[in-house]
């Protein structure tokens, strides 16, 4: 099994490194001339070789590690902490590393098994794939034109800044496509562990939940009163709390809300399990 993943990962690593090297080379060709260009390319090649070796070690460690954990994400967190060693460094760059892993490597793993008792899928109702294609189609075809205009009207650094952010946003939404498959919503005997891909998570005690119910057509949730995950067509539930609950996002962004609307692939089973754990269902 490990040899299979090593083979698949090998192809992904080659594509990833080639794309990164191409982008970096284009940047250097527009930024430097003659001797400066040669020095910059040389330093970049050395750094890229070093990063590739580190990437190989990290992926091999992850593959040997993942059998000791119940989820892919837990194994990934452990691997990154071991590889980076420094807690502050891990907190600083973990979001970017998660995005890279889920965007380029997570596609090789099957969807996380959910039993609709302790774990629940939201991959279909999340619309993550549709959102990715909307973002990609809207941004990538026009990117060269925008890059050219910004470089001409401002400078090359501004152009590359805009291009990098645009490409990163597309990569992030690609990562979300796979993260929603591999990070299910969990129920324990005391807590609801909420996740939405790489975007949001929260640990919610059942003691803090006053009621849960299906969202109906008369409800008009707004983002100031509700925490709202991307909504499915008709598979949304409302959860109300007796105090504001902190939902944690990327880059230390948080939201505190007393109500939440979330989507699940099987909301009926989820509400049934909440009822079995003492939550009031209306």
| Contact of 69 with 75, CB cutoff 8 Å | yes
| Contact of 65 with 75, CB cutoff 8 Å | yes
The three-state secondary structure class of 262 is strand
The pLDDT tens digits of the residues spanning 34-79 come to: 555 555 555 555 555 555 556 666 666 676 767 777 888 888 888 8
Q: Which residues pair with 263 in a beta bridge?
A: 236
Q: What is the DSSP letter of 244?
A: E
Q: Give the CA distances from residue 227 to residues 123, 206, 223, in Å, rounded to whole numbers and listed in that order.
A: 18, 17, 6
pLDDT of residue 144: 85
Helix and strand tally (H, E) in the chain?
8, 8
Whether the pLDDT of residue 2 is over 60: the answer is no
Q: Which residues contact 279 (CB under 8 A, 6 or more apart)?
A: 206, 209, 211, 212
Tallying the residues shown for the chain, one arrives at 282
* Ranges of each domain in the chain: 1-109, 185-276
Q: Give the CA distances from residue 63 to residues 4, 24, 66, 100, 176, in Å, rounded to whole numbers and listed in that order.
A: 10, 29, 6, 16, 21
Q: Find where tokens 């230390």 sit.
A: 252
The pLDDT tens digits of the residues spanning 181-227 come to: 999 999 999 999 999 999 999 999 999 999 999 988 778 888 888 99
DSSP string, 133-194: HHHHHHHTTTHHHHHHHHHHHT-HHHHHHHHHHHHHHHHHHHHHHHHHHH--EEE-SSEEEE
| Contact of 197 with 183, CB cutoff 8 Å | yes
Q: Which residues contact 136 (CB under 8 A, 6 or more apart)?
A: 170, 173, 174
Q: What is the pTM of this model?
A: 0.80
Whether the pLDDT of residue 119 is over 90: the answer is yes
Q: What is the C-alpha separation between 99 and 177, in angstroms, rounded?
A: 11
Q: What is the DSSP letter of 108?
A: G
The pLDDT tens digits of the residues spanning 132-184 come to: 999 888 888 888 888 888 888 888 788 888 888 998 999 999 999 999 999 99
Residue 208's CB is within 10 A of a number of other CB atoms, namely: 16
């Amino acid at each position: 099994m490990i040899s299979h993943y090593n083979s698949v990962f090998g192809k992904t690593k080659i594509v990833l490194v080639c794309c990164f090297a191409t982008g970096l080379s284009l940047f250097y060709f527009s930024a430097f001339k003659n001797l400066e260009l040669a020095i910059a390319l040389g330093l970049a090649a050395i750094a890229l070789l070093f990063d590739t070796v580190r990437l190989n070690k990290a992926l091999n460690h992850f593959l040997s590690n993942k059998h000791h954990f119940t989820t892919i994400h837990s194994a990934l967190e452990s691997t990154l902490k071991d590889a980076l060693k420094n807690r502050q460094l891990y907190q600083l760059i973990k979001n970017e590393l998660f995005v890279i892993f889920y965007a380029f490597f997570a596609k090789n793993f099957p969807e996380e098994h959910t039993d609709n008792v302790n774990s629940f899928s939201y991959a279909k109702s999340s619309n993550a794939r549709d959102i990715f294609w909307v973002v990609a189609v809207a941004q990538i075809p026009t990117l060269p034109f925008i890059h050219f205009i910004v470089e001409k009207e401002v400078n090359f650094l501004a152009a590359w800044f805009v291009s990098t952010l645009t490409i990163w946003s597309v990569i992030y939404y690609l990562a979300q496509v796979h993260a929603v498959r591999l990070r299910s919503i969990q129920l324990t005997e005391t807590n609801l562990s909420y996740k939405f891909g790489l975007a949001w998570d929260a640990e919610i005690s059942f003691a803090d939940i006053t009621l849960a119910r299906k969202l109906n057509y008369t409800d008009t949730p707004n983002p100031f009163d509700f925490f709202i995950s991307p909504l499915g067509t008709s598979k949304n539930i409302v959860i109300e709390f007796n105090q504001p609950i902190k939902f944690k996002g990327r880059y230390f962004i948080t939201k505190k809300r007393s109500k939440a609307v979330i989507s699940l692939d099987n909301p009926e089973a989820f509400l049934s399990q909440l009822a079995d754990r003492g939550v009031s269902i209306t």
